[in-house]
Amino acid sequence: MAVRKPVFKPYHQDQLMALPPTLEDLIPADHTVRVVNDVINAINIEPLLKAYHVRGGSNYHPLLLLKVLVYGYVTNIYSSRKLAEACRERVPFMWLSAMSKPDHNTINRFRGVRLKHALRSVFEEVVKLLAEEGLLSIDQVYTDGTKIEANANKYTFVWKKSIQTSKEKMKKQLDEIWNYAQRIAADEDLMPQPPTAVTINKENVKATVEKLNKVLAGNEQADKKVKAKLRYINKNFPANIAKYEHQEQILGERNSYSKTDTDATFMRMKEDHMLNGQLKPGYNVQISSSNQYIVNYTIHPNPTDTTTLKAHLEQHESSFGHAPKTLTADGGYGSEENYTLLEAKQTEAYVKYNTFDKGLELQLKSGDFFKLLKFA
């Protein structure tokens, strides 16, 4: 009886091919990489070309790098080193890059320097292309926001309220010394009120200290402790006030910011892994979508969605030349200012007001809601 042996397909690793396949042959016709290639080939990259200088050595073409970067993001590859490795080892990336092998520094420099100021233009070109293909609408959008935690230290922060409290304490100390100086001053040295009475700033603090020095310096009745306190104020207050004014300039209309990322504002996040409601530095990202495609995006330091709608609509107008004809959003955007804004822009608004659900609940309990349905 013959012994049966397993049968294997031919395997000759070193055998040469008379007609070896090209990279084009190895990419299926419906592969995602072909979609990325066609879309980027169809958009206008003129704003991206302006980021390059005429002088110097030759560069990798921005189309090549943009395709590699976008396809990498589509396939969840974000590291510049991994993207450079993919250009050497993965067939779709090798096809996109035409066998070019940009290193990780080139990819990172393109993403962080060249593409930084042209990203919005590239995004808008893609949205317009998809709109022309009928895949989305820039006239009917759905808007919502989400908070994204910043890559910043959670424990180094500046609070507006803390600055105001510190300035009030400084003003109180100056007022106490001023009142003391008034009591012991000669008639010709009497002063009506300190310069810091109205506003406490670097100039007013300096002027107040100078006047106090003039009264107390040659006065033998002046308490030594008061003079020592005045010397401390003279040494530290101007620098502290200058620091507070700089911090207030960074704060603007915000209530806080992180020292390691001054653009980030402390706000409550939906993902609270510590389960203690701790405020974290982050950004409020506003997104308008259509047919599950992102049409418009803006980034805000405001913790609440209500105050972001105006800037978000202005960005939509800047990108596409007009405001959307229809906007749908949740109750977080419901305010008199936003309703007035949407009406002025002739945008049909499907936006609940803040107390809509509570009012509906009261109607259900009282039975008024069912009476309305009966007469409808």
Does residue 59 surpass a pLDDT of 80? yes
pLDDT value of residue 233? 83
Q: Is 62 helix (H, G, I), strand (E, B) or coil?
A: helix
**Is 148:301 a contact under the CB 8 Å cutoff?**
no
Q: What whole-number percentage of the chain has pLDDT above 90?
A: 53
pLDDT value of residue 51? 84
**Is 363:369 a contact under the CB 8 Å cutoff?**
yes
Does residue 344 surpass a pLDDT of 90? yes
Question: What are the pLDDT digits (tens) for 7-18?
Answer: 999 898 888 888
CA end-to-end span of the chain: 89
The type of residue at 109 is R
pLDDT value of residue 375? 46
* CA angle (338, 158, 169) in 5-degree steps: 110
| Closest listed residue to residue 196, CA positions, set 183, 181, 209 | 209
Average pLDDT score over residue span 294-319: 94
Residue 4 per-residue DSSP state: P
Place of tokens 């424990």: 155
pLDDT value of residue 185? 63
pLDDT value of residue 376? 47
Question: What are the pLDDT digits (tens) for 238-297?
Answer: 888 889 999 999 999 899 999 999 999 999 887 766 666 688 999 999 999 999 999 999
Rounded Cα distance between 174 and 197, Å, is 9
If one counts every other C-beta atom within 10 angstroms of the C-beta of residue 314, the result is 14
Does residue 192 surpass a pLDDT of 70? no
Q: Is 290 helix (H, G, I), strand (E, B) or coil?
A: strand
Write out the two tokens for 275: 């389960």
Residue 186 per-residue DSSP state: -
pLDDT value of residue 223? 78
Question: What are the pLDDT digits (tens) for 72-105?
Answer: 999 999 999 999 999 999 999 999 999 999 999 9
Per-position DSSP letters for 12-58, written without gaps between them? -TT---SSPPPHHHHS-TT-HHHHHHHHHHHS--HHHHTTS-SSSS-
Question: What are the pLDDT digits (tens) for 121-171?
Answer: 999 999 999 999 999 999 999 999 999 999 988 888 999 999 999 988 888
**Is 351:339 a contact under the CB 8 Å cutoff?**
yes
Mean predicted lDDT score pLDDT of the chain: 86
pLDDT value of residue 372? 52
Does residue 320 surpass a pLDDT of 90? yes
Does residue 316 surpass a pLDDT of 90? yes
**Is 221:184 a contact under the CB 8 Å cutoff?**
yes
Question: What are the pLDDT digits (tens) for 352-376?
Answer: 887 776 766 766 666 665 555 544 4
Q: What whole-number percentage of the chain has pLDDT above 70?
A: 88
Residue 229 pLDDT class (50, 70, 90 cuts): confident
131 or 231, higher pLDDT: 131
pLDDT value of residue 198? 62
* CA angle (265, 266, 272) in 5-degree steps: 135
